[in-house]
Amino acid sequence: MGTTVESTQTYDVAQIMGGIYGDGIIGLKGGFSREWIADLAEDIRVAYRDALSREGGAVGRGPKRHYVEIRPEDVRGFVDLVSHPWITQVCEAVLGEDYVFVEIGFDVPNPGAMNQPWHRDFAAPPETTGGRRISSLAFNLTTVDVTEEMGPFEIAPGTQWDDGSEFDHGMFPPKEFWGRYEERGQKKLPQRGDISCRTALTIHRGTANRSDVARPVLVLGAEAADATNAIPHDLQMTHAYHEGLPEHVRRHLSCRLVEELEPVVQGHDIEGLVMGEA
C-alpha cells in the first residue's frame, strides 16, 4: 500500500465523530505517499481528457470547472484507497460497519474558475433532518499542493445542521444568508498525500482559481447501508475486476457489474452551480 501509516494503526473515534458532527470536516496529513498521488494525478489526467472528448463525459460546476464520475478500474490505486485504515475507521465510526462506497470521481477547478455560490451538495435527507444522523461522507485527495491562488475549497464549519427549508432545492441558501457563511468560512490548503473527509451537507463553495494551473481533487463517496441515496451514482466494474478484489473490499461496494466497462454519462448535475456566483 502506498500509504505512510501502518495498516494496524487505529484512530480516536471520539475525534472522528466530534469532527464530523461538529465542524463537518476532518483530515489526515500525509495519508498517502507523494509517489502514490503522482500515479493518481496521471490517472485523473487520462480520465479527464477522455471525459472532455465525449458528450456527457463531464458536467459543469461553474465556468472553467468540471466534475467527472469515473470507474474504480480507472484508478490503479483503488484498492489502496478504499482499504486505507483511516478511511475504514471513519466510515465504520460514522456510517456503521455495513457502509458502502457508492462513488468515485474528481473535481477540476481550472484557471479562470469563479467563486461558486454557497451550497450543500444535496438536500438534507430525513435521517439528518429528523434523526440528526449523518448518513454519507465524501473523502477528498488533492493531486497538487494547494495555494491561495488556486481557488481552494472553502467551508463554513458547523453548518451541516442549518435548516434548509428556505434553501433553493434544499441546497442553495438565499444571498441574505451568505454573510454568516463568509464570516465562518475556512479555506483549506491541503498538500499532496493529505486526506480529508466531510459531510456534503456542510455549506461550502469552490473559490476563484487565479493561478495558471488546474487543481484536480479526487472524490470518494460512502454511505450508510440505510442511507436515502440523495444523489444518483453509477459505480460500475467488470465481473473479472470485482472477482479479483479482496473480500473486505467487495463487501463495501454498491456497484453494477458489467462484462465490459461502459462510458460514464454524468448523472449528478447541480444546475445552480453552472453559472458560478451570481
Q: Would the pLDDT of 120 be above 90?
A: yes
Question: Stretch 221-236: mean pLDDT, rounded?
Answer: 87
In the prediction, which pLDDT does 255 show? 94
Residue 64 lies in a domain: yes
Closest CA to 87 of 219, 273, 268, 242: 219
Going by C-beta distance under 8 Å and a sequence separation of 6 or more, which residues neighbour residue 231?
103, 121, 122, 221, 268
Question: pLDDT band for position 3 (50/70/90)?
Answer: low
| pLDDT tens digits, 233-273 | 889 999 999 999 999 999 999 999 999 999 988 765 555 55
List, in sequence order, every residue forming a beta bridge with 220; answer none if it has no partner: 104, 139
Residue 3 lies in a domain: no
The residue ranking higher by pLDDT, 7 or 267, is 267
Q: How far apart are CA 211 and CA 177, in angstroms?
A: 29
Is the Cβ–Cβ distance between 107 and 65 less than 8 Å?
Answer: yes
CATH of the domain at 228: 2.60.120.620
Q: Would the pLDDT of 278 be above 90?
A: no
Question: Stretch 106-125: mean pLDDT, rounded?
Answer: 96
Closest CA to 137 of 238, 25, 44: 25
Residue 75 lies in a domain: yes
Residue 1 lies in a domain: no
Question: pLDDT band for position 2 (50/70/90)?
Answer: low
Residue 32 lies in a domain: yes
Q: Would the pLDDT of 218 be above 60?
A: yes
At 238, the amino acid letter reads T
Domain that holds residue 68: 15-273
Residue 4 lies in a domain: no
Residue 233 lies in a domain: yes
Listing DSSP states for the chain in one string gives: --BSS-TT----HHHHHHHHHTTSEEEETT-B-HHHHHHHHHHHHHHHHHHHTSTTSSEESSTTEEEEE--GGG-TTHHHHHH-HHHHHHHHHHH-TT-EEEEEEEEEE-TTPPPPPPB-SSPPPHHHHTT----EEEEEEESS---GGG--EEE-TTGGGS--TTSBTTTB--GGGHHHHHHH-EE----TT-EEEE-TTS-EEEPP--SSS---EEEEEEE-TT----S----EEEHHHHHTS-HHHHTTB--EEESS--PPPP----GGGTT---
| pLDDT tens digits, 203-212 | 999 999 999 9
Q: Would the pLDDT of 73 be above 80?
A: yes
Total domains in the chain come to 1
Residue 194 lies in a domain: yes
In the prediction, which pLDDT does 10 show? 82
In the prediction, which pLDDT does 269 show? 53
If one counts every other C-beta atom within 10 angstroms of the C-beta of residue 235, the result is: 20
Give the up-direction half-sphere exposure of residue 252: CA atoms within 13 A in the CB hemisphere.
26
